[in-house]
Structure 1
């Protein structure tokens, strides 16, 4: 009999961990099956209310470490040490488990409809706090799994990604808790009504925003990324190799221009350039913009006297260099010798609105993206690098930044995706740079909107709200438990 009970518990544990792990694995990282993110925590929440504390801890840790490993393995191919990535994943798994055990404890100790908010507010607060201090910024947020769920992500224009994270955990927790309270119909109804109502209102807002037509002008944007091995990338500072790379890109620029591109974007750090010794190389790019009568934006690694910058240059159709942006968030372990930028740079074009520039990893953070939104840009250009395996991970972050800030995003990665997305997250065009396929060209026309958003204006108010709600729920639990103890005595 005891043996049967042990087998039954083990089977229950295995099914729970397998379902939640697989759902998280295929909804996060490189797979992006967004609907699974909503289902993933349900078995864990059910298990937390029925199993022992020790079993819940083990199930939670195992689920997180397996389920979120797709992102870890994607980045293991980059220059970030895998040991650091694994360490961060373990810390997150511990925090996830603490919140799940807290949810279990509160529900089992005192019945209340509000406990469905404890895990959602706690995890949202943790994501928010981590993003303020982590060198990876917001990259770990589960909100990015919803990039292709267009009605849902529109709420980011008000709450930032934090509102999405909150809902992804609130709705499953509310469903499980209402099921747990099913014998008390009144409490069951109170538990589920608010989470479902919030979800419905969010979707209504999303559908409304998606159907509001853009009010601004249209612009035709071209992007190019030439196939390049790691050896070629490392030698792009040599004069002969740099000239060869620029020559290939000028050929791409000519092709895109003949196809009607008005603006052309190239990837991050296409060559290493010493301004004092190689001014001719910069002039070649300026001439390409002038000869084709296009606006050209390209990423360059710039040696200027004793300082090294990861920069993006904007050349006007007149062949003039009119704007330079320096990358603010440099990649750890590989860009330590670079000087970070401090300023936003905006190009104000009469009749076309205002355009901004950010570079690759800048998009993993809320700034400079939110600063651009505050200034009302309607189009952001992003030269990028990427490392093949993280292509979708980084592209979807840039798309979400555009929804938050209410501007279109054009992003060209050397070893990733070339993507053009609207201020609502609609993907206008997307292409992958696979070295086996040779050079990649992309061209698309996008209608711009007005720029600015509620999130751009008020910032991370929902992150602070989640912190406050979590603390309030802990106080509410403490007071209600003390009241129950007083009544019993």
Structure 2
């Protein structure tokens, strides 16, 4: 009989809502961060995932509880697996070209990325629900006070902590962050200049939790008319009768959340207003984009063509002429010297900054693994910097060796408007350890090269976020033309007239404001690290046996009583007044349900 009941629970027929909600989550994930970056999509995806697991997941909704009977029950297997598959499908399709070259779709890699992101997100949701199930009683879920406030912050804290670890170990860096979907959400996105991607993710997930809390409260609090007077159900009545209502109201989750959102939006509004007030100069940058001709063509033909184009562009009224990533392939030392010599002559003759980019296979054994190089010459023809790409793209660049320096390159001769010109590749901007050294080198204009034509929205979002975090201007040159991002103006797209089928040039006029000081330059990812520490505590409280957790909070309550006693008349050293008051950091003794 027990086995039959277990099978019935495991394979019970789901409701229409239980089937549709994960599909809607998948749709929101598809239109979220990645190819589309639709602003409300990630909020809705997290909100619906949370509501699904709370109300339609294992055990089903209960009339007396805000949570199912157990998120680890046998009935949880099918709902969680179904939600996971929908999430993974949506995220995988949203990242069809996260690392592909020239717009080619790499469906296998994107689905693997979607699978990984969904696992991390689902683990965060499970930890959040485990905390709710262990520490929140049925009639306490919607009350005010520190306990309820902490309960709403568990998911955003764990989310930021888990993804901080993922970003640190992933070969794609911060690709996959929901924060990048907010590029068009000004002034909300400006918060990255204070707390970085982790801080913005925290606010986003917290918003989704508050939406789920409000929705659940609305659905479970039923008003009915009785004798001409509106009454409420027992949950609402308990909320109104709770002890210390005035004091707990100061820690109302909704009040604290709205206050924090007011700070975020006010800060962003003032920063957006600064667009009209900042003083700046401008620079005219020409981006020459193309791909190597291949083994069928001779070096001499390609060399002559590329340098002639560069010379023609240097003659016009431009300040900087740069190539996109890996414009040519160099196989011998003679070819490299010849390319450098001609680039020097152009920069010295026309007094322009000239940047060349090429694949260098000179030192590669049997030409199997080379380097992606970016060399910038100053106006006198001297080498300003020589940069080797630090993070080759997984799978797409297996034949490229990573550079020895995990920071952008610059040179003292490359000065421009109270700062220096630096160099990097677009993919390197995905990594916090790389980008945080930008300001330390007094770089004001960072030129970022790319050879990819795919996933424009994601690449521009990452570039814009780095510009706002560091308070500098970043200009990318690649297959999609020239795109400039500054602290005050995150997105300026240059024109891209096609010259012929082999290459084209894009000219962009970019503002070069004075370097802007940001809080992120000082604190970095401190908020993300704080979330990591709090997550360790959260995991301990959720994973430890209940008797140990209850003893811990009983000890805290006892210590709290002692600190708040006026006298110690009792034999145990505590006054009668202290023994009669239940005080601790969570308004009342906290114990497992």
TM-score (norm 1): 0.86
Contact 1:121 1:466 in 2 (8 A): yes
Contact 1:225 1:433 in 2 (8 A): no
Match of 1:313 in 2: 375
1:400-430 deviation per Cα after TM superposition (whole angstroms, max 9, x unaligned): 11111111111011x3342011124521334
Query: In the alignment, is residue 52 of structure 1 matched against residue 50 of structure 2?
Result: no
Q: Between Structure 1 and Structure 2, how many residues are aligned?
A: 476
Match of 2:169 in 1: 133
Query: In the alignment, is residue 416 of structure 1 matched against residue 480 of structure 2?
Result: yes
Query: In the alignment, is residue 28 of structure 1 matched against residue 28 of structure 2?
Result: no
Contact 2:470 2:521 in 1 (8 A): yes
Match of 2:281 in 1: 218
Relative to structure 1, the CA distance from residue 436 to residue 395 in structure 2 (aligned partners, 3 Å threshold; closer, same or farther) is farther
TM-superposed CA distance for 1:232, in Å, is 2.3
Larger Rg belongs to: 2
TM-superposed CA distance for 1:382, in Å, is 0.7
Match of 2:204 in 1: 168
Contact 1:155 1:164 in 2 (8 A): yes
TM-superposed CA distance for 1:69, in Å, is 1.8
Structure 1 spans left out of the alignment, 5+ residues:
none
Relative to structure 1, the CA distance from residue 281 to residue 374 in structure 2 (aligned partners, 3 Å threshold; closer, same or farther) is closer
Match of 1:199 in 2: 261
Match of 1:288 in 2: 346
Query: In the alignment, is residue 244 of structure 1 matched against residue 309 of structure 2?
Result: no
- Residue among 142, 157, 168 paired with 1:121: 157
Q: What's the secondary structure of 1:368's corresponding residue? A: helix
Structure 2: how far apart are the matches of 1:174 and 1:116?
7
Match of 2:84 in 1: 61
1:315-368 deviation per Cα after TM superposition (whole angstroms, max 9, x unaligned): 222233322222211223424452513154323427542221111221111132
Match of 2:120 in 1: 95
Structure 2 spans left out of the alignment, 5+ residues:
1-7, 59-75, 142-147, 219-234, 241-247, 555-587
Structure 1: how far apart are the matches of 2:326 and 2:592?
69
Contact 1:392 1:416 in 2 (8 A): no
TM-superposed CA distance for 1:198, in Å, is 1.8
Contact 2:96 2:105 in 1 (8 A): no
Contact 1:158 1:454 in 2 (8 A): yes
1:167-199 deviation per Cα after TM superposition (whole angstroms, max 9, x unaligned): 111111022124434644568982222223222
1:270-309 deviation per Cα after TM superposition (whole angstroms, max 9, x unaligned): 1123562122222222233234332122322234556943
Structure 2: how far apart are the matches of 1:488 and 1:102?
15
TM-superposed CA distance for 1:432, in Å, is 6.7
Relative to structure 1, the CA distance from residue 237 to residue 14 in structure 2 (aligned partners, 3 Å threshold; closer, same or farther) is farther
Contact 1:139 1:364 in 2 (8 A): yes
Greater mean deviation of Cα atoms: 351-360 or 77-86: 77-86
Greater mean deviation of Cα atoms: 305-314 or 57-66: 305-314
Match of 1:383 in 2: 449
Greater mean deviation of Cα atoms: 171-180 or 425-434: 425-434
Structure 2: how far apart are the matches of 1:453 and 1:236?
49
Relative to structure 1, the CA distance from residue 147 to residue 433 in structure 2 (aligned partners, 3 Å threshold; closer, same or farther) is farther
Q: What's the secondary structure of 2:420's corresponding residue? A: strand
Match of 1:149 in 2: 185
Contact 2:194 2:518 in 1 (8 A): yes
Structure 1: how far apart are the matches of 2:290 and 2:416?
36
Greater mean deviation of Cα atoms: 349-358 or 167-176: 349-358
Contact 2:194 2:469 in 1 (8 A): yes
Match of 1:370 in 2: 436
Structure 2: how far apart are the matches of 1:488 and 1:75?
44
Match of 1:392 in 2: 457
Contact 1:26 1:32 in 2 (8 A): yes
- Residue among 417, 423, 441 paired with 2:506: 441
TM-superposed CA distance for 1:152, in Å, is 1.9
Structure 2: how far apart are the matches of 1:454 and 1:275?
47
TM-superposed CA distance for 1:439, in Å, is 1.8
Q: What's the secondary structure of 1:310's corresponding residue? A: strand
Contact 1:119 1:169 in 2 (8 A): yes
Greater mean deviation of Cα atoms: 127-136 or 194-203: 194-203
Decide which structure has greater helix share.
1
Structure 1: how far apart are the matches of 2:295 and 2:260?
51
Q: What's the secondary structure of 2:96's corresponding residue? A: helix
Structure 1: how far apart are the matches of 2:266 and 2:591?
44
1:45-95 deviation per Cα after TM superposition (whole angstroms, max 9, x unaligned): 212211233254134303321221234322475489754543343233223
TM-superposed CA distance for 1:242, in Å, is 3.2
